[in-house]
Amino acid sequence: MPRPLKSRSELRQRFDLYLDEGEAVRLRDSAAAARLPMSAYLRRVALRQRIEAPPSAANVARWRELAPLANNLNQLARACNAGLAPEGIYPAVAALAEQVRLLRLELLGAAANEQEPPA
Amino acid sequence: MIGKIAKKGRSFRSLGEYLLRDGRGEIIAGPMAGRTPRELAAEFGQLRRLNPKLGKAVAHISLSPAPGDPPLNEAQWQAIAERFMSEMGFEAWCGVIHRDTDHEHLHLMACRIGWDGKTISDANDYRRAEAVIRRIEADFGLIPVPDPPRRKPKPTTTTPKKGEKAMNDTTPPPSNPFEPGEPHGEVWPEGFEPGRDLAELGMIESIEGIVVASASVGEELPERRHRDMRRLTVEKDYEPGLRQLFGDELATVYKHPGGAVLYFRPGKGRIADAGSKLTALGDMPEHQAAVRIVAIAKARGWPSITFTGSPKFTELAMREAMAHGMRIVAKGDEQTAILAKLIAEKQGGMGAMAGPSIEANPILAPLAELDDLPAQTLPRTAPTPAPVAPPPASPEPQPPRPPFVGVFPAFPNLRERIKERRDRLAHSQPRPTEPVPPQPFKRRQP
């Protein structure tokens, strides 16, 4: 059975690109940084499409470290809210928990998108 | 505990909306910081950039207690969720509890990408999830749910058992309620049977000696061009184009890897379309096949067309193609004869119908003398006198030419006629050994 044909709109053309060693290394590095295959990266660059860089490894690591802390804070806030702690602590703990939550969103760069108006 | 793995999805936003819409769910577990579908989608979206190639990055699993399980509190749900997700290997996830149904249950939304950017394996995920849930049941004191029955492995042989039908295609075509002789029986539409079409095409291709009515592009084309022409059948406007061409006559279009098969109504008959080749299948009458095949070829803009099939079909199809002004390539002597006959017929027909004769036209009139003026019409680019044939040595008075009728024949074969005449003269008059100096042209008096 022959391979199914693609329609003309799906077809892609292929061409060769000559780079010297330094250029190749640079492009390969930036493509790897964007976590894209080199051809996909070059196509996006050439066509001025958006390249979404992933969050940096350090930020992801910090986001992960803060996860249990945020969890504990949430539990504390709940306990305070349920009356298991002295009066007046709940607002402070809740505010702290919210701060940590926003910090974690900020670390991943997800908070910036939140400011955009809904589509 | 009963687990269910939903299909892998593409959108965190839509799953989040489903889980949290109108306050129906509450996030109770997971390392995510987002609290709304929008925040969650943004957060998962950032993690998704670690592996942009993975399109279906959304995993969705639900856990619900078995009937008879004791009610679980939030901490227990949280512990179960954490245990399940860590054993399944997910790293970024969130657990949403739904209490809006009779049985409260937990949804788990997870990103299928790990911190290193690699896809988290989903190999054997149904079985692994089952095993994890059995362990959770044991550890949390829940009712053990029996494993769902395993599916029997498919039989490896395809030999049909006794009493079983050999063909996979079990949908029978609507039976023809009329007797074969009745006129209604003749036009009863043919059942839609893709399997039969492919078998028929395979037989036509593989067995020599089966001659069916078909047409293809006249030129020899490279395989690449054939493929490009076949690509038409997968384009979006393929079927609408055909419907425009045939209207209600076209019943069904069945696409297969080698092209398409067009079903016509009323009556029987299909045309297999391979892009550069059109084959009439079934019992399509030859005149219909000719008209339809040529119509498709014309609409597709084939530069030329060549036919295969019975002489009757060839003649009908050539006539049709000629009427559409297509260039016809004849294969073999038989087809050449048919084509010559048709051309002669056409010229005769045109001549009889033609208005002004060639001699009445002041511009074209000199051409009528073509046959009488051999030397003058030779190409002027030959400076050497050698190829110029001398005029006939014995100029005997020739009978007056019959008047030329019609415009058409004078032009298309001008070169051939000149060449033919040159050859004839060269044969009848052996060329002199010495070059003859060019003689001044003298007009003969009839």
Interchain CB distance below 8 Å, B115 and A6: no
Which residues of chain B have a CB within 8 Å of the CB of A119? Answer: none
Region B271-278: mean pLDDT is: 90
Residue B350 pLDDT exceeds 80:
no
Q: How far apart are CA B432 and CA B438, in angstroms?
A: 13
Asked if B34 reaches chain A (Cβ–Cβ under 8 Å), the answer is yes
Beta-carbon contacts below 8 Å between A and B? 77
Q: What is the pLDDT of residues B191-213, one digit of tens each?
A: 777 888 888 888 888 888 888 88
Residue closest to B198 by CA, chosen among B229, B160, B158, B167: B167
Tell me the nearest-neighbour CA distance from A104 into chain B, angstroms: 6
- Residue B63 pairs in a beta bridge with B3, B106
- Token look-up 């030959």 returns B382
Residue A116 pLDDT exceeds 50:
no
pTM for this one? 0.56
Query: CA B261, B267, B273 angle in degrees (round to 5)?
Result: 15
The whole-number pLDDT of residue B169 equals 44
* H-run or E-run covering B228: helix B223-231
Which residues neighbour B279 within 8 Å (Cβ) at sequence distance 6 or greater? B201, B204, B212, B213, B214, B271, B272
Give the torsion through C-alpha atoms of B42, B47, B53, B56, to 10 deg: -70
The whole-number pLDDT of residue B81 equals 96
Give the ranges where B11-66 is alpha helix by DSSP (H).
12-20, 37-48
Exposed / middle / buried, residue B79 (Cβ in 10 Å: 0-12, 13-18, 19+): middle
ipTM: 0.83
Among the partner-chain residues B35, B43, B235, the one whose CB lies closest to the CB of A108 is B43
Residue B352 pLDDT exceeds 50:
no
Q: What is the pLDDT of residues A36-65, one digit of tens each?
A: 999 999 999 999 998 888 998 899 999 999
**Backbone angles phi and psi of B110, in degrees to 5:** -135, 155
Asked if A50 reaches chain B (Cβ–Cβ under 8 Å), the answer is no
Determine the 3-state secondary structure of A118 from DSSP: coil
> Which of A5-9, B58-62, B433-437 reaches the highest mean pLDDT?
B58-62
Which residues of chain A have a CB within 8 Å of the CB of B234? Answer: 4-7
B60 pLDDT band, cuts 50/70/90, is very high
The whole-number pLDDT of residue A25 equals 96
B354 pLDDT band, cuts 50/70/90, is very low
Chain B interface, mutation test: which of A39, A63, A104, most B Cβ atoms within 10 Å?
A63
Residue with the bigger pLDDT between B186 and B165: it is B186
Which residues of chain A have a CB within 8 Å of the CB of B50? Answer: 35, 54-55, 60
Comparing B57-61, B361-365, B370-374, the range with the smallest average pLDDT is B370-374
Tell me the nearest-neighbour CA distance from B102 into chain A, angstroms: 26
Tell me the nearest-neighbour CA distance from B311 into chain A, angstroms: 33
Interchain CB distance below 8 Å, B233 and A52: no
Q: What is the pLDDT of residues B137-174, one digit of tens each?
A: 999 999 999 887 877 777 776 665 655 555 444 444 55
The whole-number pLDDT of residue A117 equals 45
Secondary structure in 3-state letters for B375-406 = CCCCCCCCCCCCCCCCCCCCCCCCCCCCCCCC
B410 pLDDT band, cuts 50/70/90, is very low
| A24-41 CB burial, b ≥16 within 10 A, e <16 | eeebeebbeebbbeeebb
B8 pLDDT band, cuts 50/70/90, is very high
Q: How far apart are CA B342 and CA B350, in angstroms?
A: 12
